[in-house]
Structure 1
Amino acid sequence: MSSWKADPSALFERRLGKSAKELGNSDGRDECPDIWRLDNGDVAVIGTDLTDAYASRLPGGVTLAPYERLVVVPGNMFTAAGEDVADA
């Protein structure tokens, strides 16, 4: 079994859940957390990069490769995506 690799040629297919604006998580200018299904079935998450803030306190068994980033999105955005994620 080979390890999973992100495909940078995958295209955005559909938003999972609601937009940041719909949820009141954006002032409409430059904040735009989001969750998207890609056309290859993978999921793209746009959020605040908190890799450095969490690096020293990751739970046991959780590691980040040098090319990975830990991002955080608003909880209400993830909750709103719940039904869409189940159907993804």
Structure 2
Amino acid sequence: MNTPWRADPLASLTRRLCNPPDSGEGDECPDIWELDNGDIAVVGQDLTGTYIGSRRPGELKIAQDERLVVIPRSTFLSAKAAIADA
């Protein structure tokens, strides 16, 4: 039986994987970081409630302790060079 994946709250942020965000005047800073255990942390807008209802594809599962986070495409694309191919 497989054990479900759980985020390690003791893992440390080790390196930014995307270009530094342009924060402008506010605190809005979409970002992508690698943790010391290899997991990835994403900073973005929590839109879980928006996609929970009829807009959620059937195959998308969101557990009670998870959130659907949206980041700009440009942030994701800027991280591509820093993410090794599997």
Structure 2-normalised TM-score? 0.89
- 1:65 aligns with 63
Residue deviations 1:18-39, cap 9 Å, x none?
Answer: 1112xxxx21531111000000
- 2:4 aligns with 3
Name the CA distance, whole Å, in 2 between partners of 1:3 and 1:67.
Answer: 13
- The residue type equivalent to 1:86 in the other structure is A
* 2:26 corresponds to 1:39: no
- Show structure 2 runs of 5+ residues with no match: none
- % identical equivalent positions: 51
Runs of 4+ off more than 6 Å? none
Name the CA distance, whole Å, in 1 between partners of 2:82 and 2:59.
Answer: 28
| Larger helix percent | 1
Q: CA RMSD of the aligned region, Å? A: 1.5
Name the CA distance, whole Å, in 2 between partners of 1:28 and 1:44.
Answer: 23
- The residue type equivalent to 1:17 in the other structure is C
Would you say how many aligned residue pairs link Structure 1 and Structure 2? Answer: 84
Q: CA deviation at 1:16?
A: 0.4
Name the CA distance, whole Å, in 2 between partners of 1:28 and 1:42.
Answer: 30
- 2:79 aligns with 81
